[in-house]
Structure 1
Amino acid sequence: MNDAASSSPISRRHALKGLLTGAAGAAAVPAAIAAPNHTEPAPPAHPSRFVFHDPDFMQPLKFPWEKLLSAEELATVQALADLILPKDESSPAASELGVPDFINEWVSADYPAHQEDREIIRGGLGWLNTESFKRFSKRFEELGEPQQCQIADDICDPSKASPEHHIGAVFFRRFRQLCLSGYYSHSQTWKNLGYVGNVTLAGPYPGVLPEVIEKLGLQDVV
């Protein structure tokens, strides 16, 4: 394999889809061989769109999965995300950075771990609105902040949640993790974590600091 081929920027998502397609094709070979006639098998009705190819950087990458959350679910996601990460004097609200769309994409992804999160999140959203109707006869996103906080306070700590709130507590814990992942992976909030990357250097690369080289004991290597 030459250097140009080995450095081809194939996305991880396309690579996984290609491997899965290849595995499915290999599994189908014995059935084709065992067929009584020797005619060529018909091509698949819907051939995979995600095969290895040179990337087209002039076109935006289309996600290989459909977004699954309904408009009602997204409204609840936005309300809860903004309750967890509200707008303040130094940071935007979660919804302003597209966190609901991030969660929608995450739970819609066709990977085992994401499918597990999909069940937790969608089931939890249903639980949240059921609890909201039980207490206040409204959907969660229709409640005022004090009422939303009253429900959230009962499920935000799994160690203190009552047995009847167990499902809500499991949901809230995972939802909060996804909120933070979507929020702090956005370029507008990197600075809040003290991240200083993705900044153009004013001059040539200064190299590793001498004190770092000395601490690592690499003086004789450099």
Structure 2
Amino acid sequence: MGTRVARSTFMLVIALVFCSICPVVLLAAAVYFLIERLSHGYLMLSAEPRQGDAGGELFVQALKQVHTGLLIYVLLMIGVLGSNGFEFGLLLVPILFMVSWSLLSLESFLWPCLPLNQVMDLDDRDPPMTDATEVYEQLECREEIVQIVPQIVVSRASLTEAAVAAAAPTVAPPAMPAMPPAAAMSTTTTAATRGGGKAPEETGTASQEAEDLEF
């Protein structure tokens, strides 16, 4: 951005210095600035990303350079008029002081800073912080958000399986099989044979009574 401003200022100073000696330079400068306006306007708006704001630094620098070009123009015209035998060429010397005073007066402006009365009114003129931090949203995108209730999809097969499982009776685990009568009889017979044809309980009681009598 700074190179473009410097190039444009240089072309303006050239046209300003030589406009009285060669007026054709004004036509060339007009064509140049027209092409520059079209090309730079396209580049800034369509082709290049957004540049940072210089805060007026480039404009103030270009203004000082144009004033310097005016000093060169006044000196050139005093010399040209004096060489052509102009008798009142010295009357143009005070113009040098006027242009110099205008150039020096630019330094007296506190252009980087705002006046105190404007600084005090900034809070009243600026929007509140909530508006400044608000995110821009296009109107077409501001649709009401519909709360979607989650739906449980149940198939017919799962419903059938659940109904069958609920209707089926609860089956207890199978119990241990009971001992068959034949096995029970064989066990009793074996015990009776060992005890002399009697049950184990009776045999034990009789032998205990016999021992008591002998004693």
Instruction: Quickly name the TM-score band, shorter chain normalised.
Output: under 0.3
Q: TM-score normalized by structure 1?
A: 0.23
Q: TM-score normalized by structure 2?
A: 0.24
Bigger share in helix: 2
Larger radius of gyration: 2
